[in-house]
Structure 1
């Protein structure tokens, strides 16, 4: 195992933080607290990463919690907030998104880029819905129109402005984490795929599994529910289903 930063190294970071200004011992305390917070957050993200990896490999919350004396619910409550600190790239590395096709991954990256450009700490469901609506295949827009709504009005309900259509990347800005509503949409999309590859349509349905989220509220305000959208998605895909869950 590589060595962890020693105290003298961390002290040096604090001293360097204000090297261009007269020494201020009170300000140095604030700098030390900031660095300590960053280390704590990094450690939590490390744990979250390996919990995500275990989940991707089929471990249940019961499997994860039992060695730690935690119930299934206790393990989920303890570790879910740590998992929410991960980015799209982190989820790719853990294997969580292995079944996502290029279109679905592109939507997730597009949503991340939008949140990044806007300086947000996390990608929320509104960012993801806008990315799904921007998908070149246009499935979400077709579904919304088929249900008697206008995709432009849904965009407006999410507060998308004319300056929101910039590039997907933002140099010099930290990549935002995956917000809890987006994480639920990802899990919902996997469920919707029933063991098959996850496509953009599954992400759209995954968003509708959380009607209380920002995206869910924007859609349900126009009468777009998961059941109604599911029928349209399957119709557009040219197949029938017995799934009415």
Structure 2
């Protein structure tokens, strides 16, 4: 843990080449204090995530703290949104994701960071899936009568922001992006998670940015699943 004198030193070192300004020191101290708060929340969130990955329920997590299942979820779920992709890898949440799917997640994270976003959402995930070199999502979308570029246009409409400064830290995993990741794990039924599973998971939440962009163009999970199973030469019946 940094000591108070060490933190004071950090404040005084900031802008040391400039004339001493006590008002700037206050602003610097507030910024560092905020960064420490975020770091602390990420630390707690990381260990909550590790407990969940090991099978602990929200009720298990809340019980020692006198919290109900709902209370634990309300207290800790926001902290999970601060976790980054590397944090999820560290906690083994993504241990069954194949290289292509991890590549999609990293591509989505890079895009969100370049836009200066604090969190990754399902829209970022869908654009990354559409950019997948294998092109499965585009193949399915075209087979269902829609132009993938129309789906992309529903999401990829960020205005020109020449003054936007890319985030210095990787964006966290937003709630709807996390639901898509969990949904992809469920879609895989214990097997390795492929890009197709992530695509289907986005369709599980039609109200999310990614899910809405698809369903608004008539792309539904049952239709997409049937086509994917057909491409794989398997019976077109949902195993779930």
TM-score of the pair, normalised by structure 2? 0.91
List structure 1 runs of 4+ shifted beyond 4 angstroms: none
For this pair of structures, how many residues does the alignment match? 235
What's 2:58 paired with? 61
What's 1:208 paired with? 203
Closer, same or farther: CA 73–241 of 1 in aligned 2, 3 Å:
farther
What's 2:76 paired with? 79
Q: Check whether the contact 2:222–2:238 (CA below 8 A) recurs between aligned residues.
A: no
C-alpha distance in 1 between matches for 2:192 and 2:85: 18
1:37 to 29, 34, 37: 34
Q: How far did residue 160 of structure 1 move?
A: 5.3
Name structure 2 gaps, 5 residues minimum.
161-165
2:44 to 25, 44, 47: 47
C-alpha distance in 2 between matches for 1:230 and 1:58: 28
What's 2:225 paired with? 230
What's 1:27 paired with? 24
C-alpha distance in 1 between matches for 2:135 and 2:128: 11
Q: How does 1:37-186 map to 2 (within 5 A)?
A: 37-159=34-156, 173-186=168-181
What's 1:219 paired with? 214
2:183 to 174, 183, 188: 188
C-alpha distance in 2 between matches for 1:230 and 1:241: 7
Deviations 1:42-92 (A, max 9, x none): 000011111111111111111111111111111111111111111111110
What's 1:166 paired with? none
Closer, same or farther: CA 39–173 of 1 in aligned 2, 3 Å:
closer
Deviations 1:74-129 (A, max 9, x none): 11111111111111111101000001111111110111111122222222211111
What SS class does the counterpart of residue 36 from structure 1 fall into? Answer: helix
C-alpha distance in 1 between matches for 2:194 and 2:157: 24
Q: How far did residue 139 of structure 1 move?
A: 1.2
Deviates more, 1:225-234 or 1:107-116: 225-234
Name structure 1 gaps, 5 residues minimum.
164-170
CA RMSD of aligned residues (A): 2.0
Deviations 1:163-199 (A, max 9, x none): 9xxxxxxx99322111211111001111111122111
C-alpha distance in 1 between matches for 2:79 and 2:87: 12
